[in-house]
Amino acid sequence: MIQQTLVLIKPDGVARGLTGEIIKRFEQRGLKIVALKLVKIDNDLAKQHYTEDISKRLGEKVRNMLLNFITEGPIIAMIIEGVNAIENVRKIVGVTESKAALPGTIRGDFSHVSYSYADKKEIAIKNLVHASADETDAKNETALWFSIDEIFDYKRAGDEHIL
């Protein structure tokens, strides 16, 4: 089943100059970038992305840390398309806590900090990437970040060997 999912390269990933390295991971897997932009977002959009649900799940404190983090500098937003793209992208990204993320994943290769360290500093764990968690989130998040005319349907050389 071909799906589309939202990926954000968070401010730490852009500031560290890791955008090319991160984007490469999705491209080399055969997944296709169908939308992409560099943006600096305000608190309004941040709140629509990290909704009240985040507070219910992770607490108001973590949500506020996330809102501060995601608005602190430019980020890259993209929509990635492919067969089971939501699950495939999450696997490439790795688990949430950088300390636990396996080498070979983006978080496991480029970050290492624990929840307890980040919590003590009262900052969101700087794990480089956001990726939609499930079909509902992917649908809402792609629609929040991109208009229809920013999303492209195109054939890539090599698709005949991948799809």
Q: Integer distance in angstroms from the first to the last C-alpha of the chain?
A: 11
Query: Could you tell me which residues come within 8 angstroms of residue 18 by beta carbon, excluding any fewer than 6 positions away?
Result: 9, 110, 128
Question: What is the spatial distance between Cα 68 and Cα 46, in angstroms, rounded to a whole number?
Answer: 9
Query: Could you tell me which residues come within 8 angstroms of residue 27 by beta carbon, excluding any fewer than 6 positions away?
Result: 33
Give which of ligand GDP, Mg ion, none residue 96 binds (C-beta under 5 to 8 Å, depending on kind). Answer: ligand GDP
Residues making contact with Mg ion (CB under 5 A): 133
The answer to whether residue 16 forms part of the interface with ligand GDP (CB under 6 A) is no
Residues shown for the chain: 163
Tokens of 136: 């509902």
- Work out how close the CB of 57 gets to Mg ion at its nearest, in angstroms, rounded to a whole number: 9
SS3 24: helix
- Work out how close the CB of 118 gets to ligand GDP at its nearest, in angstroms, rounded to a whole number: 3
Distance of CA 138 to the CA centre of its chain: 11
The footprint of ligand GDP on this chain (CB under 6 A) covers a number of residues equal to 13
- Work out how close the CB of 95 gets to Mg ion at its nearest, in angstroms, rounded to a whole number: 11
* Stretch touching ligand GDP by CB under 6 A, among 35-43, 78-86, 122-130, 148-156: 122-130
In the list 8, 35, 85, 125, the residue contacting ligand GDP (rule: CB under 6 A) is 125
- Restricted to residues 42-101, the positions that interact with ligand GDP (CB under 6 A) are 58, 62, 65-66, 96
Closer to ligand GDP by CB, 127 or 142: give it: 127
Closer to Mg ion by CB, 81 or 141: give it: 141
Query: Could you tell me which residues come within 8 angstroms of residue 17 by beta carbon, excluding any fewer than 6 positions away?
Result: none
Active site annotation includes 130: yes
Residues annotated as catalytic are 130
